[in-house]
């Protein structure tokens, strides 16, 4: 397809960029982390959304070199932000990347080359990446994550609550952080908001009792933020605080002068 041809050229032509969305401490308003979100601006045409090109990159295997570029770029930016701030960078990782035999070594090598402490990196994975894996592949993914965690890299389970079997994956996967999917931040007035509130409260309690950190995604209003604070939610992410923004804007938020 034309999309695939374009993607093959995109890395060499420097058409990818990263935006970053802050993860905010609800009580203090401090930025604790930023999530790297990949953007593709093909020369001479309009940006292609990640929902469109990431599945193509995954099927073709191009997500492996693209994902390596994302890790390099995110660690280079994080090096600047980590100076004087306790800020980590969160990178979305595809199952295809995790199944590469040398994934853990690649990540540790990138961290070392950028002189970035392992604690400063969070890898964001989803339950769905285990859907089509064989038991041997699942074992390899768990081994890679375990190695990385032993070195201090943290793992976040993204889109929590949307999968088929969230609780069993939570028991299987070695994770440090739960990210509650944005569908749970349903605004007041939304038909399901009472039920969503009950689920959010239950997941927050589960997460705390498992000693995991919790981030609620998709917070768009003050009302949602106030409600989440009353529920004891520590960390949030969403348009209320900041949309995904270019690295230079994050520099500005952290008052870093390049
Ligand atoms: O915010 P946004 O529309 O950018 O993200 C859309 C989807 O693309 C999200 O599900 C997100 O996890 C995914 N995504 C964004 N950047 C990356 C990336 O660098 N690697 C992978 N594998 N997925 C990404
Ligand atoms: O799937 P993942 O959680 O990695 O991707 C996050 C997605 O959510 C991105 O597409 C990002 O642009 C989007 N996003 C970030 N903040 C908000 C928000 O407050 N509301 C909504 N609806 N989407 C958001
Ligand atoms: Mn994510
Ligand atoms: Na998510």
The yes or no reply on domain 2-253 and CATH 3.30.565.10 is no
CA 37–ligand 1 middle distance (angstroms): 5
Residues having C-beta closer than 5 Å to ion ligand 3: 92, 124, 158
Nearest CA to ligand 2 atom 12: 244
- Residue 17 to residue 36: CA distance in whole angstroms: 10
Rg of the chain taking only CA atoms, in angstroms: 18
Q: Express each pLDDT in 38-73 by its tens digit.
A: 999 999 999 999 999 999 999 999 999 999 999 999
The per-residue pLDDT for 91 is 98
Best probe residue, ligand 2, of 39, 238, 245, 246 (max atoms within 8 Å of C-beta): 238
> For the chain, which residues make up each domain, given as ranges?
2-253
The per-residue pLDDT for 127 is 84
- Residue 193 to residue 200: CA distance in whole angstroms: 10
Our answer on whether the CB atom of 50 is closer than 6 Å to any ligand 1 atom is yes
**Whether the predicted pLDDT of 239 surpasses 70:** yes
CA 183–ligand 2 middle distance (angstroms): 10
Ligand 2 cavity residues, CB under 6 Å: 21, 37, 92, 158-159, 182, 217-220, 238-239, 244
Q: Report the complex ipTM.
A: 0.97
pLDDT greater at residue 186 or residue 60? 60
Q: Express each pLDDT in 125-181 by its tens digit.
A: 998 888 778 999 999 999 999 999 999 999 999 999 887 667 888 888 899 999 999
- Terminal-to-terminal C-alpha distance of the chain: 40
- Residue 85 to residue 158: CA distance in whole angstroms: 24
What ligand is nearest to the CA atom of residue 72? 1
Q: Express each pLDDT in 209-225 by its tens digit.
A: 999 999 999 999 999 99
* Backbone angles phi and psi of 20, in degrees to 5: -130, 135
Tokens of 145: 């994550």
CA 137–ligand 1 middle distance (angstroms): 23
């Amino acid at each position: 397809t034309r999309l695939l041809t374009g993607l093959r050229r995109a890395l060499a032509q420097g058409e990818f960029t990263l935006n970053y969305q802050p993860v905010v401490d609800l009580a203090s308003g401090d930025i604790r982390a930023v999530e790297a979100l990949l953007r593709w601006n093909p020369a001479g045409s309009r940006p292609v959304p990640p929902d469109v090109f990431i599945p193509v990159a995954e099927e073709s295997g191009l997500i492996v070199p693209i994902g390596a570029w994302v890790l390099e770029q995110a660690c280079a930016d994080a090096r600047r932000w980590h100076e004087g701030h306790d800020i980590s960078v969160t990178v979305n990782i595809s199952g295809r990347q995790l199944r590469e035999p040398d994934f853990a070594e690649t990540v540790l090598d990138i961290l070392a080359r950028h002189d970035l402490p392992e604690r400063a990196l969070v890898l964001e994975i989803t339950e769905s990446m285990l859907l089509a894996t064989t038991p041997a592949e699942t074992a390899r993914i768990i081994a890679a994550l375990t190695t990385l965690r032993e070195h201090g890299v943290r793992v976040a389970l993204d889109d929590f609550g949307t999968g088929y079997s969230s609780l069993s994956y939570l028991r299987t996967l070695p994770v440090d952080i739960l990210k509650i999917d944005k569908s749970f931040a349903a605004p007041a007035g939304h038909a399901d908001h009472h039920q969503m509130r009950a689920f959010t409260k239950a997941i927050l309690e589960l997460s705390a009792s498992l000693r995991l950190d919790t981030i609620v995604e998709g917070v768009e209003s003050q009302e949602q933020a106030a409600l989440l604070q009353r529920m004891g939610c520590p960390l949030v992410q969403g348009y209320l605080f900041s949309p995904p923004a270019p690295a230079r804007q994050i520099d500005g938020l952290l008052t870093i002068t390049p």
